Amino acid sequence: MKIISITPLIFPDVKIIKFGRFNDIRGYFTETFRKSDFLTNSDISFFKKVEFVQSNESFSKTNTLRGLHFQWNPYMGKLVRTLFGHMIDLFLDIRLKSPTFGKIAAYDMPNNESENFGEWIWIPPGFAHGNVFLDDTLIEYSCTGEYSPNCEACISPLSKDLDWSLCDQNLKKVFNESVTNSNLKITDKDKNGLTVQQWKKDDRSKNFLYGKC
């Protein structure tokens, strides 16, 4: 795997891993994951303690909004990439006593086959995760915990008390345009998820203490 760069985002624990593609007249070839590279690259040394136990694929139609999901027992970190289409990834700090608790940010992840690189985004435990899709889009994500339906929760991406102050304002504008579109596709479960303040008062939030999860 040709790792080009590892870039922390506004939340340093959330990282972009850019990897090389080998292009020629036929198209391209790439290794999207090689365990030994993740174990030996000093910039992502935290992966030495990470084991991926589940791999998921998700297709979303244009103007779909998903999230903001998270789970505990076991915790689930996610390594996510766009296979085709255009995803904006969303991540919300849910760690009690974190200086950025309740703040949400976004990262633009379109897939362009002509580029000489691809990207993973790493969403560690302690962050709720969601996506908004600007085109018909297929994504893949590897998880560090198996799905546990009795130990999951959702904060609504439409919650009025999300703090967007750290988010790129251009991406926030795109998000706003998407959620006000009459063709927005979102489940009732996600739409009616918790607010940040409801989560803060929920006993289950104690599973996510800053510096502990």
* Number of continuous H segments (helices) and E segments (strands) in the chain: 4, 13
Rounded to an integer, what is the distance from CA 105 to the centroid of its chain?
Answer: 10
Can 141 be counted among the known catalytic residues?
yes
CA distances from 15 to 41, 55, 88, 121, 150 (A): 14, 19, 15, 6, 28
Beta strand extents in 30-157 (DSSP E only): 54-60, 64-71, 78-84, 86-93, 104-110, 117-123, 127-133, 137-143, 152-154
Which backbone phi and psi does 27 adopt, to 5 degrees? 145, -125
Say which of 69, 75, 107, 129 is annotated catalytic.
Answer: 69
Can 107 be counted among the known catalytic residues?
no
Say which of 28, 107, 141, 147 is annotated catalytic.
Answer: 141
The CA angle 111-92-101, to the nearest 5 degrees, is 155
- Which residues are marked as active site? 69, 141
